[in-house]
Amino acid sequence: MSQAKENAALAALDFVEDGMTLGLGSGSTAEIFIEKLGERVAGGLKVQGVPTSDATAACAKENGVPLVDIDRVSRIHLTIDGADEVDPLFSLIKGGGACLLREKIVAHASDRMIVIVDDRKLVETLGKFPLPVEVDPFGVALTADQIYQALRASGCPNGQTVLRQNEDGTGPLVTDGGHFIVDCKCEEIPNPGETAHLLEKIPGVMEHGLFIDLSSVIIVGEDDHARVMELSRE
Ligand code: 5RP
């Protein structure tokens, strides 16, 4: 387990209060948070979690964190999730773990989103990490072509699309929601808002991995401590 990720996860626990409904993110950093949360639950903390993936649901069960169906909650107080890249305005690339649609549904429905990352995830400009886009399998080649056009039209120097394969190499990876993931080698995303806007107009796109204006707190784990960075969205 990376010490930097663990330090970020531990610092996020300070934001958790008794009685909260929590969005539980996906990925290795989110799973460390869930393990630590499980220890607090064993000590008497009362919370319930809304998982953003089947893997996260399994991790929460294993660690004794109670779960609730997303359709049974009226409010999610706080979501804690990881990210693949974070820029200075707290815009994110997410979806390296192929959970971006559910992650965005939960983040969007939350009063607050806190992102936990190690310091290697901080970038000046998004786009080195290939941008994941979740698409419907129907007409995927057509959709991928439209995604390429949208990326180039919004100023990305590249936009080459690759259909993500499953771990066995037997075919496309299928998300928890039954979709495919197209990874886009943008190199740089100079105008994340415009890119997001153009991607959202493509019918086959279920969701993209640009998370803009969703997080106001980033916790950056380093080897010996964690830094809490806050952005006012007033
Ligand atoms: C999953 C995600 C993850 O939050 C992202 O990939 C970071 O993962 P990790 O904490 O393992 O580095 O977006 O879809």
CATH of the domain at 106: 3.40.50.1360
Q: Are both 22 and 101 inside the same structural domain?
A: yes
Q: Are both 78 and 16 inside the same structural domain?
A: yes
pLDDT at 1: 66
Q: Are both 177 and 202 inside the same structural domain?
A: yes
Question: What does the DSSP assignment read for 180-211?
Answer: EEEEEE-S--S-HHHHHHHHHT-TTEEEESEE
Q: Are both 12 and 99 inside the same structural domain?
A: yes
| Tokens 């109670």, residue located | 66
Can you count the helices (H) and strands (E) in the chain?
Answer: 6, 13
Tens of pLDDT, residue by residue over 145-179, are: 999 999 999 999 999 999 999 999 999 999 999 99
pLDDT > 80? residue 91: yes
| Tokens 């706080």, residue located | 78
Count CB neighbours of 215 within 10 A: 23
pLDDT at 232: 81
What residues line ligand 1, using a CB cutoff of 6 Å?
25-30, 81-84, 94-100, 103
Tens of pLDDT, residue by residue over 21-38, are: 999 999 999 999 999 999
| Tokens 């998982």, residue located | 51
Q: Are both 8 and 114 inside the same structural domain?
A: yes
Ligand 1, residues 33, 84, 206: which to mutate, most atoms within 8 A of Cβ?
Answer: 84
Q: Are both 10 and 79 inside the same structural domain?
A: yes
Residues 49, 165: Cα–Cα separation, whole Å: 30
How far apart are the CA of 30 and the centre of ligand 1, in A? Answer: 8
Two tokens, residue 96 = 């390296």
How far apart are the CA of 150 and the centre of ligand 1, in A? Answer: 24
Q: Are both 97 and 171 inside the same structural domain?
A: no
Q: What's the number of domains the chain is made of? A: 2
Atom of ligand 1 nearest to the CA of 25: 4
How far apart are the CA of 83 and the centre of ligand 1, in A? Answer: 5
Model confidence band, residue 234 (pLDDT cutoffs 50, 70, 90): low
Using alpha carbons, select from 177, 174, 219, 228 the residue that is nearest to residue 83. Answer: 219
Report the share of the chain in percent with pLDDT over 70. 99
211 near 94, Cβ under 8 Å?
yes
pLDDT at 127: 98
Model confidence band, residue 144 (pLDDT cutoffs 50, 70, 90): very high
How far apart are the CA of 156 and the centre of ligand 1, in A? Answer: 23
Two tokens, residue 209 = 């991995």
pLDDT > 80? residue 114: yes
184 near 80, Cβ under 8 Å?
no
45 near 15, Cβ under 8 Å?
no
CATH code for the domain of 195 = 3.30.70.260
Two tokens, residue 46 = 């009362």
Q: Are both 224 and 113 inside the same structural domain?
A: yes
Q: Are both 117 and 84 inside the same structural domain?
A: yes
3-class SS at 165?
strand
Atom of ligand 1 nearest to the CA of 31: 10
Atom of ligand 1 nearest to the CA of 99: 14
Q: Are both 116 and 186 inside the same structural domain?
A: no
Q: Are both 148 and 187 inside the same structural domain?
A: yes
Tens of pLDDT, residue by residue over 45-57, are: 999 999 999 999 9
**Which residue is catalytic, options 6, 85, 103, 134?**
103
Residues 76, 69: Cα–Cα separation, whole Å: 11
Atom of ligand 1 nearest to the CA of 28: 11
Annotation marks residue 31 as catalytic: no
Give residue 135's domain range.
131-207
Q: Are both 66 and 94 inside the same structural domain?
A: yes
